[in-house]
Structure 1
C-alpha cells in the first residue's frame, strides 16, 4: 500500500529534474540523490527514480545526436554563403540580403525540432509528476532503459 510520503518522494524525483535551470547537471543530480536515498524503502519510488533518470539520459543522448547533425549545416552555411548579408558601411548605408542557402533551412528545421523536443520534455516531466502524485506508475515515451 502506498502512503503519501512515497508519492511525494516519487513526485519530487520527477520535479527535481527542473533543478537544471538553477544548478548545472541538476536534472541528473537531483533525481539520483532522491532515488538512491529512497529506492530500498519503496518499489514505487524505485520505479519512478529509474524512469526519471533513464528519461534524462535518453534526452541527453538525443540532444547530442541532434546537435551533431545540425551543427554542420550551420557551419557549412556560414562558409558557403559569406555574401548572405552585404553591409557596406555607414557612408552609403547599403544592406544586401541575398538568397539563403538550403542548408540554413535544414539547420533551422533541426533547431525547431530541438525546441519542440524541449517543450515535449517539459510536458512529459509534468505528466509523470502528476501520475506519481496520484500513485500511478508512468513510463516516459521514447526512453531507453539504461537502468533496469
Structure 2
C-alpha cells in the first residue's frame, strides 16, 4: 500500500459572538413552531440547532436542549390527548396543550433573546 496523506484536520469551531448566541438561542425555541406546518418540526428544529452549535456555545446548547425537552414533552401530551378523545376529555385538553405550547415557546424565545436562561415548566428532562 502506498503512503497516503491524510487531509489536514479541521480547525476548531469558532465561538459565537454574544449577539449570535442570543439569536440562535431564540431560534432554538421559535423554530420549533415549524411543527405547526411540518410533522415533527417542533422536535427536529431544536435538535438541529443543538447539534450544529453544541461545540460553539454553552448558551445556545442550553436553550436548544430546553426547547427539545419541552417539545418532546408536548408531543407526548398530544398523544395522551388523542387517546383521551375517546372519553371526550382529550378534545378540551388538546387545546389547552396547544395554547400553552405556543405561549411558552414565544416567552422562551423572548427570554433567550434577552440573554436570560429560561426553564420551561412541567417539562420532562429527557436530555440533560
TM-score (norm 1): 0.71
2 CA distance for matches of 1:7 and 1:19?
19
Q: Counterpart in 1 of 2:120?
A: 140
2 CA distance for matches of 1:20 and 1:113?
18
| Aligned residue pairs, count | 112
Aligned-pair CA distance for 1:70: 2.3
1:30 aligns with 2:10: no
Q: Any residues of structure 2 matched to 1:101-120 within 5 Å, and which?
A: 107=88, 109-120=89-100
Aligned-pair CA distance for 1:23: 2.0
> C-alpha offsets along residues 6-44 of structure 1, whole Å, 9 cap, x if unaligned?
000000110111112232211111111111100111111
Q: Which structure 1 residue ranges, 4+ long, deviate > 6 Å from structure 2?
A: none
What is the root-mean-square deviation of aligned Cα atoms in Å?
1.3
Tell me which of 33, 43, 67 is aligned to 2:82: 67
SS of the residue corresponding to residue 48 of structure 1 reads helix
Q: Specify every segment of 5 or more residues in structure 2 that has no aligned partner in the other structure, as ranges.
A: 1-16
Q: Specify every segment of 5 or more residues in structure 1 that has no aligned partner in the other structure, as ranges.
A: 74-106
Q: Counterpart in 1 of 2:60?
A: 45
1:8 aligns with 2:18: no
2 CA distance for matches of 1:11 and 1:20?
16
Aligned-pair CA distance for 1:146: 0.1
